[in-house]
Amino acid sequence: MIEVQELTKRYGSTTAVDAVSFHVPRGEIVGFLGPNGAGKSTTLRMITGYLSPTSGRVRVGGIDVHDKPREARRLIGYMPEGVPMYRDMRVVEYLRFRAELKELGRREVPGAVERSLAQADVTDAADKVIGRLSKGYRQRVGLADALLTDPPLLILDEPSSGLDPNQNRHVRELLRGFEGNKTVLLSTHILPQVESTCGRVIIIRKGQLMAQGKASELRQNPAGTRIITLGGPATPEAYEQALLGVTGVRNVERMGAQAGGNAVRVTAVPGDEVLEAVFQAVVRAGLSLHRLVPESASLESVFADLTTTDPAAPLDDEPAAHADDAPNAGDAIDNEESPS
């Protein structure tokens, strides 16, 4: 559904996206991850045709986005981060307006608006003025907008920003329901959401592709981390002392008394070699073991190993003009009363 080939975007001497290539099959839900400033939003804008690449090609459903942008956009439901919208319009009025811009027929508009309101779980706010909605509700109006034409491809940039836990759970369930029916490219910083909804993950850093594959495969990546829990009758201090200097062991954390014994959690490099080294070190120290349990690395640890986050990094990407930008799209109204 998405083919990205050597995609590059430069702003003067700054390279925001550097020869990135990947593909997303039809019906698959893919997480698109990276720290702030990695080039995620720039990549998404180029895929949707809102931003022209410096070089490289993008095809959506077999259609070249640069050569035939209008045809390609008909296949896409795009929700940018910080959705621009007219805040003095009521939700239902705004969605009807957006449906007309997306060239839906007049007879199709009422049904499309009703369906998208229900999918985004925002029907109760249909008659509310957008400017009086909370940030979470505005996010869901943006999601309803992306769903209006029932597109085969959804590209969502931080759709869960500002949502409470219940709203976030609804978005997860909605996305899981699309698997096999719609293709979804999801950019988010919420890694548990990625693990629970996405069949595959793409990670970029500083505009470059770092890794891609199933989350389970990435956990076995040499750049990942392995967690080993061990315990027995000896004290946590004794186990910790025995593991000092063992090759591949990064950290030993005391867990205290558990299951009738004392335990420590070992953070180590992946691979069976380190597991064997940990076992042999405990034996050499003359300590008994009641359990030695290796765990898979978390997606969070893999992400941390593959990327670095600079708290002083600039905003994710250069701002791009959108066809649906509104004059008051930059207003900040985050604390208004949400509908009950």
pLDDT at res. 186: 95
Structure tokens at 213: 């594959």
pLDDT at res. 157: 93
- Cα four-point dihedral sign 213, 217, 221, 224: positive
Measured CA to CA, the distance from residue 158 to residue 69 in angstroms comes to 23
pLDDT at res. 111: 96
pLDDT at res. 296: 66
Instruction: Tell me which DSSP letter residue 129 carries.
Output: B
Q: Find out whether 55 and 6 touch, Cβ atoms under 8 Å.
A: yes
| Structural domains present in the chain | 2-219 (3.40.50.300), 226-296 (3.30.70.260)
pLDDT at res. 257: 55
Backbone angles phi, psi at 73, to 5 degrees: -65, -25
Position of tokens 């990549």?
43
Beta bridge partners of 55: 8
Which residue ranges of the chain lie beneath pLDDT 70? 220-224, 256-261, 296-297, 308-340
